[in-house]
Amino acid sequence: MSEKEKESVVEVICELVRANYVYPEEGKRISTQMMANFRDGKYSTLSYPEDFARRLDSDLIEIGGDKHLGLVCDPDRVKEIRAQVNNDYVTKEMVEEERKKNFGFRELRILAGNIGYLDLRIFFQPKYAGATAVAAMNFLSNCEAVIVDLRSNGGGWGEMVALLISYFLNNNEIVHLTTIYSRPKDEYDQSWTLPYVPGKIMSDVPLFVLTSKSTFSAAEEFCYCLRHLERATLVGETTRGGAHPIDEKIVDDRFILILPEQRSINPKTGGNWEGVGVEPHVIVPAQEALDSAHIRALEVLLSRSQDENDKSSYEWHLEGLKAKLNPSSVDSEALRSYVGSYESNDISLEDDVLYFRRGGRAKQRMTPLTEEYFLIENEDDRRARFTRKDGHVRGLKICCIGGAVTEYPKTS
């Protein structure tokens, strides 16, 4: 790139920021500093477009303090934007790429205690991802509690935020979630929950949302809305802090300015999470958030339950989960004494870890609850207890969650 080309790019960026950045005075300040950087020769050693874009991107974020603000070098994306017939900035290529990722719905499963778990990586437009979202919500609809994992979610579209939140609120009353102010249009737009969604509403189901330092933008909107509606418990780390919706502005044939020209306004707080993030109710390292939320979900269900069988079940799963996180210590001599065959079941020892094998199936790791009582890997509803007589191991009891017990004598 020549100095003339670089100057032209910086001038267009400064003009766009001055005219459209969400806060006018900040836009002027950012533009003035960027032009000063150019005139001071800060970019004179950068000869290639990619290097130039990375440096300006870094400076825009540093000067503006806005994590949404940035610059990319992407000639193909410039062509896509110019070819668009509408303004939703979604191309066929983008839809196909996200389809291959299941539109961000990475994982659905049922945790011990009938706790639903959803790992969601992007809030993609319901126009394309709506059917997948509905299927995911229906999968969770029979769960006693739900955990939504946004630890790796970098944002997306507010329409999907509104759709998913609608499943967790009473649909007899639509709720105002967010107001968006657009500086270029000088207009306000509002986001509300939907009066109807396909499937079962989970308005009374305990809801937990996992967060990390990478949770950003629309994912933060989901957290912020639910926090101030007092509808969910957030568990993890304070989020990244980006509350300004963006537009893609073409600078020239190679560069695109990512420009925050709107701001989110919460109807309850009158503010948003820009620059500060969303603080969770339960602050734990991101890698511990799922276990922490799972424990809290079981504790909430236990406290709510009036049925003794359900209470016993929740206590069983709580005991097991806590044991997995903090297993008891059993000395090597005791572990060796359990090794052997118990009719069709075999117990082996490897590196001071016991393994259970039933009828020639794959072996399963055993985690001690006590010296004689063990969890069995991937068996939420069954545990193993060794029995002794006259100081010697004589049998193995398989204990089930409902109270049923099957005993196998030690045969070798």
pLDDT in tens, 243-285: 999 999 999 999 999 999 999 999 999 999 999 999 999 999 9
Instruction: Kindly report the pTM of this predicted structure.
Output: 0.90
Specify the pLDDT at position 91. Answer: 82
pLDDT value at 9 more than 80: yes
pLDDT in tens, 130-179: 999 999 999 999 999 999 999 999 999 999 999 999 999 997 889 999 99
pLDDT in tens, 21-55: 999 999 999 999 999 999 999 999 999 999 999 99
- Amino acid letter for position 176: H
DSSP 244-274: --EEEEE-SSSEEEEEE-EEEE-TTTS---T
| Residue 7 banded pLDDT, cuts 50, 70, 90 | very high
Cα–Cα nearest to 164, from 115, 231, 101: 231
* Cβ-proximal residues to 61 (8 Å cutoff; 6+ apart), any chain: 67, 69, 70
Measured distance CA(193)–CA(114) in Å, rounded: 27
The stretch 346-374 carries a mean pLDDT of 94
Measured distance CA(297)–CA(370) in Å, rounded: 24
Specify the pLDDT at position 86. Answer: 63
The stretch 290-301 carries a mean pLDDT of 98
| Backbone φ, ψ for residue 399 (5° rounding) | -100, 130
Specify the pLDDT at position 153. Answer: 98
Percent of the chain with pLDDT over 90: 93
Q: How many CB atoms lie within 10 A of CB 257?
A: 23
| Angle, in degrees to the nearest 10, between helices 24-39 and 3-20 | 170
pLDDT value at 88 more than 90: no
